[in-house]
């Protein structure tokens, strides 16, 4: 079981709720993914408009836990205020903390992230920081009170997969006891399987499912990949090597000697 | 008086946040509010005075990644 801030989860696949062709497809994709956690957000809504209310009504029928984000925030103040607003609306202490530092890559501003994480943790939030693969930043986030980390694989929505394998392996090895969820940049199920094979505890997928030609089928494919990757991790993968090793025993080979 | 609601200037006769929201049609909507960048809890809206030039954010649940 995956445990996040004391909550035990069977599924190691978290799903974003944005960019689906329709609310009905979103609902079907969540079911196909067999996920237990979906991410949600807050946006401005005009009086009389009810799209946000409709969306929230749909999410509540899915029977999943929500992880609100602070997407779009560029400062500590914005992120902290948005977290307060999300806690009230969604009724959860969980917050996926995003503080964007650069608009082309949507790279986190890790300095502001650490500061905001400290403030929110002190206030009783359970913070899921969207961060880079940097070891020192990870250490600071844990020092600020985070007990889960969400390192990126690649820029949000890029579908590039695990961009910096060396650093991600180092992060996993260095923080062996901390739940690490790969967030952002995965494109296909094999990326998710690879993340789990490397020992990451879970993955969060949005664009790769929502923008697929068939989001529901892709959600199911990611669910299978996550299970396969986790199973492989438990089974103990062999180490890659440079030279061949015969798999068929060579003792008793005909025509030799 | 004029206030900035979600980035747009509006005329309002409301003296406190709860009546401004009612005037703008939010009524029973599930929204979160902030005034001049500070979160205002739903329970505090009736006692939160609004002044000319205040910046109000009204946020609703939305899809997110």
Q: Binning pLDDT at 50, 70 and 90, where does residue A256 land?
A: confident
Backbone phi and psi for residue B51, each to the nearest 5 degrees, phi listed first: -120, 160
Query: Any idea what DSSP says for residue A5?
Result: T
pLDDT, one tens digit per residue, over A105-159 is 999 999 999 999 999 999 999 999 999 999 999 999 999 999 999 999 999 999 9
Nearest beta carbon to residue A43 from set B29, B41, B60: B60
pLDDT above 80: residue A257: no
pTM attached to this predicted model? 0.93
pLDDT above 80: residue A90: yes
Provide, as residue numbers in chain B, all residues whose Cβ is less than 8 Å from the Cβ of A44.
6-7, 57-60
User: How many Cβ atoms sit within 10 Å of the Cβ of residue B23?
Assistant: 15
Average of pLDDT values for B27-56? 95
ipTM above 0.85, yes or no: yes
What pLDDT sits at residue A253?
A: 85
What pLDDT sits at residue A51?
A: 85
pLDDT, one tens digit per residue, over A172-194 is 999 999 999 999 999 999 999 99
What residues contact A165, with CB distance under 8 A and at least 6 apart?
A: A198
What pLDDT sits at residue B27?
A: 79
Average of pLDDT values for A26-55? 92
A96: annotated active-site residue = yes
Longest dimension (CA), chain A: 89
What pLDDT sits at residue A49?
A: 81
Whole-number percent of chain B with pLDDT over 70: 100
How far is the alpha carbon of B57 from chain A, nearest alpha carbon, in Å? 7
Whole-number percent of chain A with pLDDT over 90: 91
User: How many Cβ atoms sit within 10 Å of the Cβ of residue A151?
Assistant: 28
Helix or strand holding residue B22 (H, E):
helix B17-23
pLDDT above 90: residue A47: no
Per DSSP, helices labelled H in chain A are 23-33, 51-61, 76-90, 110-122, 135-143, 165-174, 189-197, 207-210, 215-235
Rounded Cα–Cα distance for residues A84 and B52 (Å)? 25
Contact A143, A115 (CB under 8 A): no
Average of pLDDT values for A202-225? 98
Does the distance separating the beta carbons of A88 and B63 come in below 8 Å? no
Residue of A nearest to B5 (CA): A46
| Average pLDDT of chain B, as a whole number | 94
Helix (H, G, I), strand (E, B) or coil at B55: strand
Q: Binning pLDDT at 50, 70 and 90, where does residue A249 land?
A: confident
Q: Binning pLDDT at 50, 70 and 90, where does residue A168 land?
A: very high
Contact A186, A150 (CB under 8 A): no
pLDDT above 80: residue B6: yes
Determine which of A37, A47, A68 to mutate to test the interface with B (most B C-beta atoms within 10 Å).
Answer: A47
User: What distances in angstroms separate CA B30 from CA A92, A138, B33, one per listed residue?
Assistant: 15, 35, 10
| Average pLDDT of chain A, as a whole number | 96
Per DSSP, helices labelled H in A72-143 are 76-90, 110-122, 135-143
Nearest beta carbon to residue A85 from set B34, B64, B65: B34
* Secondary-structure percent of chain A, ordered helix, strand, coil, rounded to 5: 40, 20, 40
Q: Is A53 on the interface with B (CB under 8 A)?
A: yes
What residues contact B51, with CB distance under 8 A and at least 6 apart?
A: B1
């Amino acid at each position: 079981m995956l445990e996040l801030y004391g909550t035990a989860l069977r599924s190691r696949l978290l799903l974003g709720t944005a960019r689906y062709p329709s609310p009905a497809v979103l609902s079907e994709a969540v079911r196909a993914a067999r996920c237990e956690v979906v991410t949600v957000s807050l946006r401005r809504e005009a009086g009389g408009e009810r799209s946000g209310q409709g969306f929230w009504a749909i999410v509540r029928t899915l029977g999943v836990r929500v992880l609100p984000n602070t997407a779009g925030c560029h400062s500590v103040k914005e992120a902290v205020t948005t977290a307060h607003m999300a806690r009230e609306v969604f009724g959860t202490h969980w917050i996926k903390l995003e503080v964007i530092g650069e608009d082309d890559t949507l790279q986190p501003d890790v300095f502001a992230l650490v500061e905001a994480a400290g403030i929110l943790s002190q206030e009783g939030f359970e913070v899921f920081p969207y961060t880079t693969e940097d070891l020192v930043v990870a250490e600071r986030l844990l020092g600020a009170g985070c007990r889960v980390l969400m390192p990126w694989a690649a820029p949000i929505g890029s579908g590039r997969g695990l961009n910096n394998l060396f650093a991600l392996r180092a992060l996993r090895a260095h923080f062996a006891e901390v739940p690490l969820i790969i967030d952002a940049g995965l494109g296909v199920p094999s990326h998710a399987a690879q993340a789990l094979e490397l020992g990451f505890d879970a993955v969060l997928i949005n664009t790769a499912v929502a923008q697929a030609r068939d989001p529901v089928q892709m959600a199911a494919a990611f669910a299978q990949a996550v299970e396969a990757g986790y199973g492989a991790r438990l089974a103990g993968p062999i180490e890659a090597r440079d030279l061949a090793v015969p798999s068929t025993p060579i003792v008793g080979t005909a025509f030799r000697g | 008086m004029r206030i900035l609601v979600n980035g747009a200037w509006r005329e309002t006769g409301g003296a406190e946040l709860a009546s401004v929201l009612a005037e703008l049609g939010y009524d029973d909507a599930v929204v979160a509010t902030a005034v001049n960048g500070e979160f205002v809890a739903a329970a505090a809206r009736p006692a939160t005075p609004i002044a000319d030039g205040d910046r109000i954010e009204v946020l609703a649940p939305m899809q997110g990644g």
